[in-house]
Amino acid sequence: MSMRKRTLLKVIVLGDSGVGKTSLMNQYVHMKFTQQYKATIGADFVTTELQIDDRDVTLQIWDTAGQERFQSLGVAFYRGADCCVLVYDVNVMKSFDSLDNWHEEFLKQANPTDPRTFPFILLGNKIDVDGGNTRVVSEKKAKDWCASKENIPYFETSAKEDINVDVAFHCIAKTALVNEREQDIYFQGIPDAVNETEQRGGCAC
């Protein structure tokens, strides 16, 4: 068993159902996009390793199993989050209007020590759709929302066309490092404790 010093960062992805949360994560972690709509089932997070400056970082990215549609996500989902990624669809006004609720819900559930400095990031997804003709939320509107919330970083993305996905997740990792929990991990895949937490928290569908 090898021992390496890594920084583990828990990133959670929130937003209305259908905005592309799972697709963004898959595009980033597996570099693939699937057209078919499928609610996320099974594994609640994926891990991926990267380097930020001279630091070895493991990003643990938590996705919902589709529960965002009809029930709350449970404490295990939010517990210990280092960064919260909010996603909306630039073609669906309702998904933008929901951002306040997701932001508020996160702060309520995760209860970070300092809500004003907790790292959020906003992704406006599906910018590829119909060459931008069906877009209803302007970049300015999104940036104004970010400015009203302690200057949240903003990226416009397409999980389908792989636009800005790497850049956004790199920024997410950097932002999350602000809230780091440095630990020595005897890293053999996924730490058991996390698995147990996940099952106890009822995050799996």
For the bound state, the minimum distance from the C-beta of residue 150 to Mg ion, rounded and expressed in Å, comes to 27
**Cα→Cα distances 189→29, 49, 89, 193, 195, Å:** 15, 11, 33, 12, 11
CA neighbor of 152 nearest in space, from 108, 113, 106, 92: 106
Does 129 participate in binding ligand GDP (rule CB under 6 A)?
A: yes
Length of the chain: 205
Q: Smaller CB distance to ligand GDP: residue 124 or 179? A: 124
Q: Which residues lie closer than 8 Å to 6 by C-beta, 6 or more apart? A: 49, 56, 57, 58, 183, 185, 187
Q: Is 179 in the site for ligand GDP (CB under 6 A)?
A: no
Task: Please report how close the Cβ of residue 68 comes to ligand GDP at its closest, in angstroms.
Answer: 7
Q: Select the binding partner of residue 159 from ligand GDP, Mg ion, none (C-beta < 5 to 8 A, by kind).
A: ligand GDP
Residue 133 contacts ligand GDP per CB under 6 A: no
Measured from each CB, the residue nearest to ligand GDP is: 20
- Residue 7 binds to ligand GDP (criterion: CB under 6 A): no
Out of 7, 22, 91, 175, name the contact with Mg ion by CB under 5 A.
22
N-term to C-term CA, the chain: 32
Query: Closest approach of Cβ 120 to Mg ion, in Å?
Result: 19
Q: Minimal distance in Å, beta carbon 46 to Mg ion? A: 12
Region from 52-60, 144-152, 155-163, 177-185 binding ligand GDP, contact rule CB under 6 A = 155-163
The answer to whether residues 160 and 130 touch, using CB atoms and an 8 Å cutoff, is no
Residue 135 as a binder of ligand GDP (CB under 6 A): the answer is: no
Asked if 98 touches ligand GDP (CB under 6 A), the answer is no
Closest-by-Cβ residue to Mg ion is 22
Q: Binding string to Mg ion for residues 29 to 48, with x set by CB under 5 A, is what?
A: -----------x--------
Binding residues for Mg ion, per CB under 5 A? 21-22, 40
Binding residues for ligand GDP, per CB under 6 A? 15, 17-23, 35, 37, 40, 125-126, 128-129, 158-160
